[in-house]
Amino acid sequence: MFELDFSVIVIPANSSLLWEGIKMTFLLAGLAIVGGLILGTFLALLRIAKIPILSQISAAYVNFFRSLPLILVIFWFFFLVPLIVGRPVGAFTSVLVAFILFEAAYYSEIIRAGINSVRLGQLAAARAIGLTYIQSMRYVVLPQAFRAMTPILLTQAIILFQDTALVYVVGLRDFLVSAEIIANRDQRLVEMFLFVALVYFVLCFTASMGVKYYQKRINNEL
């Protein structure tokens, strides 16, 4: 049997590499969540708009991305985006684009359900005081919709946070890749992968406990 030696983590060179990695993971997840939410909201609004062609385009987009494995989309954009823009864009940009486009499909379905959960009378009341359709959405319908769907959106965000580990396939130095570099170099595979698992678990478990608590609170208020 081998002996576990976790001190490999705290060697300054290693810990700073891991720190850079976790920062990359958070940056990627954060930007992908924000971008995915914006695009997802837009897609959801197109989907519920009473203009057939727009809602069909949105529906097709959502169905398309929800039918593909995320890892394939990551691959795709890694090779495709440089071809489209005609120059290398770097792993980070291509991966970010892939995540935003992919996650938007999931977010838009959550947001659409949230919007549909707001009573139709609310839109009528907003229109009745003279607000435009866009103002009614902005000030009346969406705030209520987001409130109702926040727990589901946060859960999806946690899933996305875990999914960012897939950037492994294009060699972007996120938390997992940084840990793997150390694991191989210092021959501490068991320690490093245990450590990575622990960090992911603690972060995601804490976050999902937070979501549960939040959901309880809104349920009590509604």
Site for other proteins (CB under 8 A): which residue of 132, 184, 187, 206? 132
Piece of 9-17, 83-91, 136-144, 174-182 that binds other proteins (CB under 8 A): 136-144
Q: Which is nearer to other proteins, 119 or 217 (CB)?
A: 119
Smallest distance from other proteins to CB 139, Å:
6
Site for other proteins (CB under 8 A): which residue of 126, 153, 157, 196? 126
Please report how the helices 52-66 and 90-116 are oriented relative to each other, as an axis angle in degrees rounded to 10: 120
- Which two structure tokens, joined as six digits, stand for 150? 């926040």
Site for other proteins (CB under 8 A): which residue of 31, 131, 165, 199? 131
- Which two structure tokens, joined as six digits, stand for 176? 């997992």
Site for other proteins (CB under 8 A): which residue of 56, 63, 135, 162? 135
Rounded CA gap, 51 and 174, in Å?
Answer: 42
Residue 129 contacts other proteins per CB under 8 A: yes
Q: Which is nearer to other proteins, 50 or 87 (CB)?
A: 50
Residue 143 contacts other proteins per CB under 8 A: yes
Q: What is the dihedral of CA 167, 168, 169, 171, to 10 degrees?
A: 90
Residue 127 contacts other proteins per CB under 8 A: yes
Q: Look at residues 103, 127, 94 and name the one whose alpha carbon lies nearest to residue 37.
A: 103
Site for other proteins (CB under 8 A): which residue of 3, 86, 130, 220? 130
Residues 89/74, Cβ–Cβ less than 8 Å: no
Site for other proteins (CB under 8 A): which residue of 13, 60, 124, 198? 124
The one-character DSSP state at 10 is T
Site for other proteins (CB under 8 A): which residue of 66, 119, 185, 217? 119
CA distances from 218 to 9, 126, 149, 150, 155 (A): 40, 24, 10, 10, 15
Q: Which is nearer to other proteins, 132 or 162 (CB)?
A: 132
- Which two structure tokens, joined as six digits, stand for 139? 């000030």
Q: What is the dihedral of CA 16, 21, 25, 28, to 10 degrees?
A: 100
Binding site for other proteins (CB under 8 A): 119, 121-122, 124-132, 135, 139-140, 143-144, 147, 221
